[in-house]
Chain A
């Protein structure tokens, strides 16, 4: 298996720049997930790697070779599309062997390779059916099988699970993770679903407006987001953002006043105290970090409770209109209108400056 490198890659349509100076290195056998909101450029970047979109500027290297002008079929990639893109007039067997047929591979060899991939994906009983006679999950497996048969250096997945129902999505997610292990393949996977990103990835690439916001391991991106966008995008339920103003700067950290919460003052330990007194900051609090003992306390009124069985999501406010989301395992008895004290350890809080960049 081989790696991949993007150097200062750009894509423009006329005057519109959709990919702005992206550089990234994907190591061999790595499972990299491009994640971001709709329109952030993740699918365009994947299509540029596949050769389906021209690269306006910059270099793409696969296995150390520059691939900018190389045809898609000669880049050593295989792609699985969102809609599966199976040829509706061909059987599963013909679909899986289609690329090999046009590559001039002898018939016997095609049969051998297709059967081997079918066995890996347990498609044996479906080989003579057409895509129209398959369920969503089966079609997905055939699409993956079609990719495997080509024995690519890099697998590209473009939101492959988004057309499946929730249960099947979880099942296919596990199958994909297993497949990655067994094939030991380099995978680039595009999704807007951060749960898919967190569960599948070795490395997450968070994208926004054609730029990479952050690259890191799933837990790194979750625990140490570089900016408010990444903090807000990764994590479910979404992180709480509370506006504050710097009241004091000392060696021990920043003291922040929270005007929306009875001017409560909280000191956050930070090495970087470059934010001057009087500047606006945003405090980020993960719903899962609330507990019953933390030093930072919010007196709230419960507005809505979502019971998920194992835990509950409490949406509570202090009358100002802003809601704080708290994930708790002790929320079964909570009801709308009830008073509720949410505690959190200030050490768990994330702090962002007025530009949304991480301070601590």
Chain B
């Protein structure tokens, strides 16, 4: 019974991916007719895609945004999470509670103020405008704070006795010890940044600046969308996140289970 349920759940999870890959090899009419077997149109779909969009530019834009955003988010969130957990005070607890309350504010409510801010900073249609609002991710700060609870305080004490300053303790003890947490946060942040759609759609206005996610969406907005091309574009857009996940898979699972044993 358990295995049956698990098999159904596994099939439901995997089917969209399979359909995506199979769809990438079929022509639009076959996809619309519900064909679920591989076809021979993969190469044609790729050629059509490259004719419609500048793939290299799109991948460059997406990768640049995702990488910078991930690095900055990890730096800011891990410093904040570590700080909130290690240097506790009544004031810091209140600030943290305020941050958590911000999680309940929907992005739709922040869009206009954010856009106005970016406009005033003359950052509209720049990648900086996409990256900046993601850097202080409250969820990732929360994640690092929770993970920091498993960081043994005696290690910090030992490092202090060994003569390390606070920044050295963070850099040479905390970061390597919490590498599983960093791996999990890397995957979460990279995927969120790579798949980010709404905010880049608002602030990126020229084709040269757009990301792969926006390009895939624009393919769908054609008068008669070519679903084979859409499927190829989506498959290609999924590959980097899959790659990151497989590289960091082991640490990701460890990071979610707890950083230290």
Interface residues of A (CB under 8 A from B): 47, 50-52, 71-74, 77-79, 81-83, 85-89, 98-99, 102-103, 132, 150
Chain B residues near A52 (CB-CB < 8 A): 157, 160-161
B217 near A: Cβ within 8 Å? Answer: no
- The docked-state distance in angstroms from the alpha carbon of A102 to that of B173 is 12
Residues 225 to 261 of chain B near chain A (Cβ within 8 Å): 260-261
Interface string of B156-178 (1 = CB under 8 A from A): 01111111100010000100110
Asked if A102 and B161 make an inter-chain contact with CB atoms under 8 angstroms apart, the answer reads no
Contacts of B260 in A (CB 8 A): 88
A267 to chain B: closest CB distance in Å? 54
Q: Is the CB of B177 within 8 A of A72?
A: no
Q: Check B157–A81 contact: CB distance below 8 A.
A: yes
Q: How far is the CA of A150 from the CA of B161 in the complex (A)?
A: 10
Q: Are A81 and B154 in contact (CB under 8 A)?
A: yes
On whether the beta carbons of A85 and B154 are closer than 8 Å, the reply is yes
Q: List chain B residues, Cβ under 8 A from A50.
A: 157, 161
From residue A153, how far is it (CB to closest CB) to chain B in Å? Answer: 13
Residues from chain B with a CB closer than 8 A to the CB of A51 are 160-161
27 contacts between A and B (CB under 8 A): A47-B157, A51-B160, A52-B160, A73-B164, A74-B163, A77-B161, A78-B161, A79-B157, A81-B154, A81-B157, A82-B154, A83-B152, A83-B154, A85-B154, A85-B155, A85-B158, A86-B158, A87-B155, A87-B176, A87-B177, A88-B177, A89-B176, A89-B179, A102-B162, A103-B163, A132-B261, A150-B162
Residue of A nearest to B162 (CB): A99
- The size class of the interface chain B forms with chain A is 10 to 19
| B residues in contact with A150, CB < 8 Å | 162
Q: Quick one: closest A residue to B173, CB to CB?
A: A87
Is the Cβ of A99 less than 8 Å from the Cβ of B177? no
**Given contacts A73-B163, A85-B152, A102-B168, is CB(A79)–CB(B176) below 8 Å?**
no
Contact B168 A72, beta carbon cutoff 8 Å: no
Closest residue of chain A to B158 (Cβ to Cβ) is A85
Which residue, B152, B159, B161, has most C-beta atoms of chain A within 10 A?
B161
When the two chains form the complex, which single residue of B154, B161, B179, B261 contacts A72, counting CB atoms closer than 8 Å?
B161
Instruction: State A326–B177 Cα separation when bound (angstroms).
Output: 52
The CA of A94 and the CA of B33, in the complex, are separated in Å by 64
Q: Which 9 A-B pairs have the closest CB atoms?
A: A73-B163, A99-B162, A85-B158, A85-B154, A89-B176, A81-B154, A72-B161, A102-B163, A72-B160
Contact of B164 among A47, A78, A102 (CB under 8 A): A102
Chain B residue numbers with a CB within 8 Å of A83 are 152, 154
Q: Which residues of A contact B164 (CB under 8 A)?
A: 73, 102
A52, B158: Cα distance in complex, Å: 9
Q: Given contacts A71-B160, A87-B155, could you give 20 more A-B pairs where the C-beta distance is less than 8 Å?
A: A47-B157, A50-B157, A51-B160, A71-B163, A72-B160, A72-B161, A72-B163, A73-B162, A73-B163, A74-B163, A79-B161, A83-B152, A85-B157, A87-B159, A89-B179, A98-B162, A99-B162, A102-B162, A102-B164, A132-B261
Chain A min CB distance to B49 (Å): 44
- In the assembled complex, the Cα of A79 lies from the Cα of B162 at a distance in Å of 9
A77 to B261, CA, bound (A): 29
List, in ascending order, chain B residues with CB within 8 A of A99's CB: 161-163
Complex Cα spacing A52 to B159, Å = 11
Residues of A within 8 A of B152 (CB): 83, 85
Docked pose: A97 CA to B164 CA in angstroms:
13
Q: State the CA gap A51–B164 with chains docked (Å).
A: 13
